[in-house]
Amino acid sequence: MGDKIANFTGVKNFTNHVWGYPRNLRVTEIGSNVFQFQFEKEVERERVLRGGPWILDNQVLVIREWSAGFEKKIECFRFSPLRIQIWNLPTHWMSSAAGVKIGRVFRNVKEVILPPGRGKEGKHMKILAEIDLLQPLIKGTTIKLNGEVVWVEFKYERCPDFCYKCGIIGHGDKVCKLERNLNQAHREAQFGP
């Protein structure tokens, strides 16, 4: 997902490497930035489907199980897992249950990673959650602790290209369509169409 056009050879080499060189992996380019991967062994296919995030050339490689015609629908590729750090969380809230609860602002929490020790790592927890690539990244959320409202901040690990203006993954701020649309609407409101 993104503005860059992926190179077939680059995709094939990247996936072979990060997926541990699955035996007889077949890669077929079926459209612009759309590829089909065929595995010889079901166990390798399942591992890739459950894995991720896969970041290729600063873009998210979204993996979905194949079904006829889905490659033409952008909605099929809108969700992808990303690792998210949760900061400013009170120490007594460092638990899997809290990670799942806070992670509800995303689509699906796949994993909660608690800090192993003290120091910098003990100040935040991580979750692996599916995010909506067509919506702006969430900066944080508020949680209620014993009647007190606390702001927790999200930091995204290995975050692919995203726009600092609109917050959406897949393009940079120099080519932001939202900003162009807002500027166009502003000009039209000021001067007419």
**What is the structure's pLDDT at 71?**
64
Cis peptide bond N-terminal to 116, omega within 30: no
| Shared-domain flag, residues 138 and 122 | yes
126 shares a domain with 69: no
Contact call for residues 5 and 33 (beta carbons, < 8 A): yes
Residues 86 and 70 in one domain: no
| In a shared domain, residues 83 and 152 | yes
What is the span of the domain harbouring residue 149?
A: 79-156
Q: For residue 180, what pLDDT is reported? A: 44
- Domain-located, residue 175: no
Q: Are 61 and 55 in contact (CB under 8 A)?
A: yes
pLDDT score, position 192? 36
Q: Domain check: are 71 and 119 in the same one?
A: no
| 14 in any annotated domain | yes
Distance between CA atoms of residues 124 and 153, nearest Å: 10
Please report whether residue 188 resides in a domain: no
Four-CA torsion 61, 67, 71, 73, nearest 10 degrees: -100
Q: Say yes or no: 14 and 72 in one domain.
A: yes
Residue 43 included in any domain: yes
**Residues of the chain with confidence (pLDDT) below 70:** 1-2, 70-74, 117-122, 178-193
**Domain end (from 77, 102, 135):** 77
Number of domains within the chain: 2
Last residue of a domain, one of 33, 55, 77: 77
pLDDT of 181: 46
Are residue 72 and residue 115 in the same domain, yes or no?
no
pLDDT of residue 72: 67
Q: What is the pTM of this model?
A: 0.76
Digit-coded pLDDT (tens) for 78-113: 888 999 999 988 888 888 998 999 999 998 899 999
What pLDDT, on a 0 to 100 scale, did the predictor assign at position 188?
Answer: 38
